[in-house]
Structure formats: structure tokens, C-alpha cells
A = this chain, B = another copy of it.
Amino acid sequence: MKQRAVSAQVRWEQHTQRPLFALAALFAVAYAVPIVRPDASGEVRWWCDVVEWGVWGAFALDYVVRLALTDRRREFVRTRWLDLVAVLLPMIQPLRLLRVVATLLLVGQRARMASQIKLTTYVGGAVVGLLMFGSLAVLSVERKAPGGNIHTLDDAVWWSFTTMTTVGYGDHAPTTGLGRMIAVGLMLSGIALLGVVTANIAAWFIARFEKDDAEERRQTAAITELAEEVRLLRAEVLALRASGSAVPEQRR
């Protein structure tokens, strides 16, 4: 309802959606390149850094513009306080990991508000995004670790999958403090999301079969039958009233 009224904000959100998602894809590439190719030249790394700062800046700018266009600024800031943190944090502490998490938060929040995007698309996208980010982040941290066992992208992706499904073979696991913090973040968000995905797969299998919610159906059937009953009753009363008002007229 609010979105229809504040048309300037809505128009901005609709027009900037595609460019921003293109920037998000660019960000993913810029984040992946220095991790997948650790022997990349200094120039390549510099460009990746520029792209990362640029994309974060674009999303931060988008937040500021939307804040300027909205009528209810207090509510906007209050309900999107995590976005505000994501806009301010990289300014205070320019750690690469913080900047990446901040951009992920801004992209995810923006995607959730895009009314064209459906739940399945969003959850699927979030799972793929978390898998990619988790694998790359853990790889970048654990590759250098002395006793680590995650050395290739292959291992890192495999580790992400076994973690998010809670299978947890333990053939690969982070050993550094930072790697484990990333792992805990991936567990809490990833397990929840992949749970939604597996539940959907189960539902897809079951889809064409009869559901067992017999109780609910009996309810609905009872209500429908009852409504029919009441409709008949009303017709009855209407007929009664017609005959009732006809009687006095006959008498005159």
C-alpha cells in the first residue's frame, strides 16, 4: 500500500533494479578472481579492489537515494537498520571481509524488496550466493593456514555443501579462528536456507499425489455445505416475506 503511494521511490527502485543486479554479478567476479587465481598480477588485484569499492558505493548510494525519496524516513531507517550498518561499517573499518559481507547484505535486502522476484528464485539465489561466498571466503582464509585442509576451490565448494546439508563428513573443515567464524555464519544461514530448498524438493516429489490433510478438507467441506444451507434458508425467508406482504395487499 505504501509503495503505491510513494511513487518516486518505487519508480527509482524499478529503474535501478537491473543495473544493480548487473553490478552484483560484477562484484562476485571481482571477489572471486584474486582468490581463485592467487598468482594474479598486482594490476588485476588493484582493478578487483576498485570494482569492489565501486559496487559497494553504488549500493550505498542507492540506499541514500531511497532514503531521500521516501516519506517516512524514521520508519525506513528503523526497519532497514542492517542496511545502514552495511553502508557505514566499511567506512569505519575497511577490512575486505567486512566490505564483502556488507555488500552481500545490501544486495540481499535489495533483492527481497524487488516485487518481481518470487520466493523460490530468491531462496535459490541466496543458497547459490552463500555457497559461492562461503567457499571463496573459507578458501582465502584456510589456504594459508599451516594445518589447514582446504587448499583448492574444489575442496572448498565440497566443504560448503557437506556443511549446509549438515552431513559434515569432516574430511575438510576450517582450522583457523576466522575460517571457523565464516563457517558458523554459513551454518546458521545456509542450513536454514538449504532446509527450505530440500523441503521444496520433497514437496516437488510429492506434488502430484493426494495430500493427507483430510481434517482441513472436512472443515472446508463442512463450511461450504453450511453456507449452502444458509443460502437456501435465506431464499426461504425471502419467499416467506413476499407471501407475508402479499397477504395484507389481498385483504385490501
On A, residues with C-beta under 8 Å from B are 112-113, 118-119, 122-123, 126, 154, 158, 161-163, 165-171, 173, 175, 177, 180, 183-184, 187-189, 191-193, 195-199, 201-202, 205-206, 208-210, 213, 215-216, 218-220, 222-227, 229-234, 236-241, 243-245, 247-248, 250
A207 → B minimal CB distance (Å): 8
> Does B192 contact A199, Cβ atoms closer than 8 Å?
yes
What are the residues of chain B within 8 A of A232 when measuring CB–CB? Answer: 234
> Does B227 contact A205, Cβ atoms closer than 8 Å?
no
- The listed residue (B163, B213, B243) touching A244 by CB distance below 8 A is B243
> Does A167 contact B187, Cβ atoms closer than 8 Å?
yes
What are the residues of chain B within 8 A of A189 when measuring CB–CB? Answer: 201, 205
**CA distance in complex: A201, B188 (Å):** 8
> Does A191 contact B220, Cβ atoms closer than 8 Å?
no
> Does B250 contact A241, Cβ atoms closer than 8 Å?
no
Closest chain B residue to A247, Cβ basis: B248
Known: A165-B191, A234-B236. 6 other contacts (CB 8 A): A162-B168, A168-B169, A195-B202, A219-B223, A233-B233, A233-B237
> Does A198 contact B191, Cβ atoms closer than 8 Å?
yes
A86 → B minimal CB distance (Å): 16
Q: What are 16 A-B pairs with beta-carbon distances under 8 A?
A: A118-B209, A126-B205, A165-B191, A166-B167, A167-B167, A169-B170, A169-B173, A171-B173, A189-B205, A196-B206, A219-B219, A226-B230, A229-B231, A239-B241, A240-B241, A243-B244
What are the residues of chain B within 8 A of A122 when measuring CB–CB? Answer: 205, 209
**CA distance in complex: A196, B203 (Å):** 10
A79 → B minimal CB distance (Å): 10
Q: A222-B224, A230-B226 are in contact. Are A193 and B205 (CB under 8 A)?
A: yes
Closest chain B residue to A233, Cβ basis: B234
What are the residues of chain B within 8 A of A119 when measuring CB–CB? Answer: 206, 209-210
**CA distance in complex: A241, B248 (Å):** 14
